[in-house]
Structure 1
Amino acid sequence: MELLRNISQQPTNSNRMYEPNQPGSCELRRKRTEDHGHAPAEMSKIITDPATGKCYCRGKVLGKGGFAKCYEMTDLSTSKVYAAKIIPHTRVSKPHQREKIDREIELHRVLHHKHIVHFYHHFEDKDNIYILLEYCSRRSLAHILKARKVLTEPEVRYYLRQIVSGLKYLHEQEILHRDLKLGNFFVSETMELKVGDFGLAAKLEPAGNRRKTICGTPNYLSPEVLNKQGHGCESDVWALGCVMYTMLLGRPPFETTNLKETYRCIREARYSLPSSLSPQAKQLISSLLAKTPEDRPHLDHILRHDFFSQGFVPERLPASCCHSAPEFHVSSPAKSFFKKAAAALFGGKRDKVKYYETLNKLTKEEEEIYKLRHDLKKTVISQQQQNKQMTEVRKGLPPTTRDTIRLIVRGSLGSCSSSSECLEDSTTGSVAETITSVLRGCLENMPKGEPNCSNLQWVTKWVDYSNKYGFGYQLSDHIVGVLFNNGTHMSLLADKKTVHYYAELGQCSVFSTSDVPEHFVGQVTVLKYFAHYMEENLMDGGDLVSQPDTHMPRLYLLQWLKSDRALMMLFNDGTFQVNFYHDHTKIILCTQREEYMLTYINEERVSSTFRLSSLLTSGCPADLRQRMEYSLNMLLQRLEP
């Protein structure tokens, strides 16, 4: 809401503006004249709704806008506090001014969403119009940023996730906000963000019928709005990019000392991305601030970006974040032990003695785990050195797949479990060789052309924390697995009560989360943490679901590999999955009833499943074929001697 921001606290050039000779410019000139003239009559402290007889007590000023002021206002019968937007009739005496207020009321009153400032009631008396809105005691993000200067990336993820949620709701109602900025994002007592100020909001019109009025806040205007092409959903997305940039760096991306230069920078989409930003943050900002509207991501795609999927998103922020940077810790009743155990099991040195003193003595299994971790470390380093030397792929593949792929190879489990669905000789190498042979055979014999679903198990969420502990993932049947840096694997079944532990494939230990062997406490703590993190912070990757399996999990990770473009995962039963970062598409190849099935999940997270035998006769779309070729390329690099 326009009046909840304090104009004097906004950055340079950040006040809402209207282009000269457009509707609205006279209001700002008139306001300045009135402000320098005689003061209006003092408003009463007690305000009565003529229609209901309810009495309200007017409190302190919360903010000012072009037409109005916003006050705290308390219902004297219930003690409920509102943010009241109070507009003098003298400020909206002309028909088009009154129409603007009526339009704002009509748009806002029907909105009901947890991340939209709630509209409660409106009334008027002989002097003023009163709009009663949800009271946000932490004020706005503009106030928070003024105190903090910059925000941390986890905080920005937290706020952006809520802004996108509210904005998506608005766009679904075919409403454009048209003035997204820090001063219009309000923060409740519980640190929940609410999108407000619908003074410039408008119904979405077809491209040809859009009003060409240049309205909004100078630093947040999009190129198409400046060029009088009208305001669409993409213009709100552009403003979102400006908001993200401002939160991370403390200044808008196009701010200059000269308004004409600011507009020139906006039209050219010319701004700087400091090295202090993470690569994921830079990538997301660049996509949001794409010069061409069609090149900006849809709201549905924003939260699937690596900036969110590969970074910590807090569930809640403490109120102290309003004035000081937060400290994020792992929330666990066994936090102190967790740190010692994790450090000892996964690479720490100084805490190792303390950990084993806690356990009193080393068991044989602990010795084996330690040796395995040590051996794995040498193996991974050796594999990485080999992969760095690879500069081209095998001959015979199409030119589109000849990009240099730098693989990071992780995982060491190497033989099959007792599951009847496993391959006969399911070492990591044999799984990769089998999949390579099948995939290459399909591609070499498949015609070009355009060509449905089993209870498929696949990875819906994943998190790479291998710099400390390992690689975590969640399957479509809600089993959570972790392939630890020491080469061991744990699965937490869908019942959240049963753990399966593999020191080696074919050697499975089963125990309850309520009765964890002492020497597994550290790893189980990590497993639970991964499960909680993915459940709370990551979105599912597609529309396929599987029935939860509370018995022996048939699928667990043997090895994962990363390139610049994709993540590849190999599983014990021969399932092979590749996730592509840039568009979040996925390929899953698996055997079902002794037949190979290939599932493709597209950018819209919609899945299609094909028999490999049918692809050999019918062919497949070009985008799928391209991804199959890249996946084969990754496998070939994995097998390169």
Structure 2
Amino acid sequence: MDILRNIAHQPTNNSKMCEQTLNKSCEFQKKKAEEHSQGPTETSRIITDSATGKCYCRGKVMGKGGFAKCYELTDLATGKVYAAKIIPHTRVSKPHQREKIDREIELHKALHHKHIVHFYQHFEDKDNIYILLEYCSRRSLAHILKARKVLTEPEVRYYLRQIMSGMRYLHEHKILHRDLKLGNFFVSESMELKVGDFGLAARLEPAGSRRKTICGTPNYLSPEVLNKQGHCCESDVWALGCVMYTMLLGKPPFETTNLKETYRCIREARYTLPSTLSLPARQLIASMLSKSPQDRPSLENILTHEFFTQGFTPEHIPASCCHSAPDFHLSSPTKSFIKKAAAALFGSKKEKAKYYKSLNKLSREEDEIYKLRQDLSNAAIGQPPCSQASEDEKLPAGKSVAVVMEENKQQSRDAVRTIVRGSLGSTEGLEDSSATSTVTSLISVMKSCLEKMPKASDFPSENLGLNFLWVTKWVDYSNKYGFGYQLSNHVVGVLFNNGTHMSLLSDRKTVHYYADLGQCSFFSTTDVPEQFSSQVTILKYLSHYMEENLMDGGDVTAAVDTSRPPLYLLQWLKSDRALMMLFNDGTFQVNFYQDHTKVILSRLNQDHLLTYINEERVSTSYSLCTLLASGCPDELRHRLDYALNMLLQKAD
């Protein structure tokens, strides 16, 4: 109380000091209020779109930018969660600032691609502008790299493919992103990558009138941008090279202790490529970080580079990759196995015995796979070139060529059947015919089909839904051993570089060996002739790999039919857009890389069965006669035309 009393009776000559203190306090409060106004106030936790009447609940902050903060925003009526970019009006009070936001909204809402963050809607109230975007629960690649430090090459290929898919869409629509970096690549719940943040994006202008503004993130700027020569598609490719480098090595290529030195290194394209990186990775980064834009590869050329074609790319990666390195080879015990272990520890003697039996089996399997890996180094099949292995589906699909002809849709089914039969010839003895005659026959059938089939906007109503054999998984190890695949009846085959073929039947106990077309010998996996031990090792290893790591390519299943002759691969061919596989019974399959669509032509009595597996892995099957009479949409027609071109290429 004495202290308070003394303060209350301070001499009046201290009034100036009190006034100064009060002024400082007011300034502090004013500054806090301004900082607080940069984002929604606590009283605006419930946000209402006055135009639609929808109410949203604002959640936690997901990120911050130059003008805005990004929040989780939940639709109170539906429970749907969005990523909301909330921009206070106070931050865009100047005309040019508001124009920038309006340009971003106009550009982003016109984009529709699975690897670009989806734009839902925007609205505003008296305080803020709200942009509702696709919610990516795994945040960004920047967050993943922060936890992981570096990423593996298969992961980098997985992410880069998706980034380039989005980039190609943007460039085809004459849009430059201009701020490609790890923090702008967002990751969904299912570990799919989405390119986002179009605050600096701009439409591509002719060379003479390109924007000269230096914008973007310093470590990712290209020499031509720093030199104010303007942005171009090649500037985005440069940034992609920086992204690839950063993912593999944990830091950007031109990062230094000061910005001036960083810019000098960028202008000179001066950086180091450690020998710890694979040779293809070093070569690809070096090409993307070429000083001259004209020397950088296009997105299509990047995807045909050896880094992608000679290296494994997973079709999916687990969410655990957000915090720990994946193991793409050995699988860990399943949840059901763990449950059994728990039951054994606390259950009966019978349960314990069952558990230990399972444990011993698992140990034996892992030991066998380890041994297989060791044996691979000693397996010598054919004369392979020296390069890395290439596994799983590769390279993106591009645009196909135009369709050849349009004919009268009224052509009768009988006349069409005559055309097909005339092209096929006899079905007897096909397994004993040469691969060349099989290709020739297929070319004749497909030419007749494309020349006579009318145009149509829809698929025929017929969907046969028959069982047939097709390739559900494949792995290209031809740089060392051969080409492996798994059929829909779970038979695994390998066409080796020396021309021989080996199949592991679905019982995983029997091996079929083909030294020549139509000549088969077989033996048990427990009694392998010494001269085949290396090939069986490779066969078993690829079988395990595909079973554990690759996903089926469609929804068509096949019952095991022991009455039909064994199916085995005659020839295969890879282009920059698709994989072609030709089998001994005339089955012809083409897998398109980017969208994972597939076209399969197989025998159906005296006709052909054509099956199309779309992007959703859903299949439809039609007799070729039906398609010839009714036609099909361009979606399938273009793929058939490309498949024919691949056959013609193989024939040549």
TM-score (norm 2): 0.57
Q: Is the aligned partner of 1:222 residue 2:222? A: yes
Q: Aligned pair 1:489/2:480, yes or no?
A: no
AA matched with 2:519: C
> Which AA in structure 2 matches 1:199?
G
- State, as a whole percentage, how many aligned pairs show the same letter: 63
- Three-state SS of the structure 2 residue aligned to 1:147 is helix
Aligned to 1:541: 575
In the alignment of these two chains, the number of paired residues is 440
1:215 match: secondary structure: coil
Is the Cα contact below 8 Å between 2:435 and 2:584 reproduced in 1? Answer: no
Residue in 2 that maps onto 1:294: 294
Q: CA deviation at 1:463?
A: 2.8
Distance in 1 of aligned mates of 2:584 and 2:54: 58
Which runs of structure 2 are paired with 1:391-540 in the superposition (5 Å)?
Answer: 419-421=432-434, 463-464=476-477, 470-472=481-483, 482-483=494-495, 489-490=501-502, 501-502=512-513, 504-505=515-516, 508-509=519-520, 525-528=540-543, 540=574
| Distance change >3 Å, CA 516–CA 196, structure 1 → 2 | farther
Give the drift of 1:310: 1.9
- Determine if contact 1:337/1:522 at 8 Å carries over to the other structure: no
Which secondary structure state, in structure 2, belongs to the residue aligned with residue 82 of structure 1?
strand
> Highest CA radius of gyration, 1 or 2?
2
Indicate the residue corresponding to 1:207 in structure 2.
207
CA distance in 2, matches of 1:508, 1:35: 86
Instruction: Give the SS at the match of 1:199.
Output: coil
Q: Distance in 1 between matches of 2:67 and 2:194?
A: 22
CA contact (8 A) 1:265 1:271 kept: yes
Q: Give the counterpart letter for 2:434 in structure 1.
A: E
Q: Secondary structure at the match of 1:248?
A: helix
Residue 164 (structure 1) aligned with residue 164 (structure 2): yes
Alpha carbons of structure 1 residues 481 and 300: separation in structure 2 relative to 1, 3 Å = farther
For the structure 1 residues 543 and 200, does the alpha-carbon distance in structure 2 shift closer, same or farther, using more than 3 Å as the test? closer
Tell me which amino acid in the other structure corresponds to 1:551. D
In structure 1, the gaps of 5 or more residues are 1-33, 350-372, 385-404, 409-416, 424-452, 555-604, 613-641
User: Distance between the aligned counterparts of 1:215 and 1:317, measured in 2?
Assistant: 33
Distance 1:203 1:228, change over 3 A: same
Give how far 1:253 is off: 0.2
Letter in 2 for 1:482: V
Structure 2 gaps of 5+ residues are 1-29, 335-360, 389-429, 437-442, 447-473, 529-535, 554-571, 589-644
Closer/same/farther in 2, CA of residues 492 and 540 from structure 1, 3 Å limit: farther
CA contact (8 A) 1:221 1:239 kept: yes
Q: What letter is aligned with 2:583?
A: D
Residue 502 of structure 1 aligns to a residue whose secondary structure is: strand
**CA–CA distance in structure 2, aligned partners of residues 471 and 223 of structure 1:** 43
* Aligned residue type for 1:115: H
Secondary structure of the corresponding residue to residue 74 of structure 1: strand
CA contact (8 A) 2:57 2:75 kept: yes
Seen in structure 2, the aligned counterparts of structure 1 residues 279 and 36 have a Cα distance that, compared at 3 Å, is farther
The Cα shift of 1:526 comes to 4.0
SS of structure 1 residue aligned to 2:520: strand
Superposition map of 1:125-164 within 5 A: 125-164=125-164
Shift of 1:549: 3.4
How do residues 582-621 of structure 1 correspond to structure 2 at under 5 angstroms? none
User: TM-score, structure 1 length as denominator?
Assistant: 0.58
Query: Which residue number corresponds to residue 239 of structure 1?
Result: 239
* C-alpha distance after superposition, 1:151-185 (max 9, x if no partner): 11121111111111111111122111000001111
Offset of residue 314 of structure 1 = 2.0
**Secondary structure at the counterpart of residue 252 of structure 1:** coil
Maintained 8 Å contact 1:543/1:606: no
Q: Which amino acid aligns with 2:585?
A: H
State the shift of 1:220 in Å.
Answer: 0.2
Tell me how far apart the structure 2 counterparts of residues 263 and 114 of structure 1 sit (CA, whole Å). Answer: 34
Rate the CA distance shift 1:536–1:183 in 2: closer, same or farther, 3 A: farther
Tell me the distance in 2 between the aligned counterparts of 1:291 and 1:73: 43
Cα offsets for 1:59-104 (capped at 9, x unmatched) = 1111111111111111111111111111111111111111100000
Query: How far 1:344 moved relative to its partner?
Result: 6.5
Contact 2:109-2:119 within 8 A present in 1 as well: yes
Q: For the structure 1 residues 133 and 542, does the alpha-carbon distance in structure 2 shift closer, same or farther, using more than 3 Å as the test?
A: closer
Name the structure 2 match of 1:276: 276
1:606 CA displacement: 8.7
What is the CA-CA distance between 1:124 and the residue it aligns to? Answer: 0.5
Structure 1 position 455, deviation (Å): 8.9
> What SS does the corresponding residue of 1:73 show, helix, strand or coil?
strand
Q: Is the 8 A contact 1:210 1:231 kept in 2?
A: yes
**Superposed CA RMSD:** 4.8
* Structure-1 separation of matches of 2:387 and 2:279: 19
Q: Contact between 1:219 and 1:254, CA under 8 Å: does it hold in 2?
A: yes
> CA shift at 1:36, angstroms?
7.9
Q: Which moves more between the two structures, 323-332 or 305-314? A: 323-332
Per-residue deviation at 1:289?
A: 0.8
Residue 476 of structure 2 aligns with an amino acid whose one-letter code is: V
Report if the CA contact (8 A) 1:500-1:509 is conserved: no
Distance 1:150 1:510 in 2: 48
- Displacement of 1:292 in angstroms is 1.2
Aligned CA distance change for structure 1 residues 269 and 535 (closer, same or farther; 3 Å): farther
Contact (CA 8 Å) 1:136, 1:186: kept in 2 or not? yes
Aligned partner of 1:390 in structure 2 is none
Match of 1:305? 305
Task: Compute the displacement of 1:273 (Å).
Answer: 0.3
Partner SS state of residue 159, structure 2: helix
* Counterpart contact for 1:501–1:508, Cα < 8 Å: no
Partner deviation per Cα, 1:366-389 (whole Å, 9 max, x = no partner): xxxxxxx99x86x98xx99xxxxx
Post-superposition CA distance 1:10-50 (Å, at most 9, x none): xxxxxxxxxxxxxxxxxxxxxxxx97884344351111111
1:98-137 aligned within 5 A: 98-137=98-137
8 Å CA contact 2:330, 2:366 repeated in 1 = no
1-side partners of 2:646 and 2:293: how far apart? 24
Deviation at 1:489, TM superposition (A): 2.8
Change (3 A) 1:110 1:407: closer
Counterparts in 2 of 1:62 and 1:342: CA distance versus 1, 3 Å: closer
- The amino acid of 1:118's aligned partner reads H
Distance 1:202 1:346, change over 3 A: closer
Correspondence for 1:393: none
Partner deviation per Cα, 1:509-564 (whole Å, 9 max, x = no partner): 378xxx9876688665445457777998999424688685352899xxxxxxxxxx
1:46–1:56 Cα contact (<8 Å) kept: yes
Deviations 1:442-480 (A, max 9, x none): xxxxxxxxxxx7799xxxx9733777xx322679xxx98
Structure 2 SS opposite 1:97: helix
- CA offset at residue 320 of structure 1? 2.1
Q: SS at 1:39's partner residue?
A: helix
1:542 touches 1:606 (CA, 8 Å); kept in 2? no
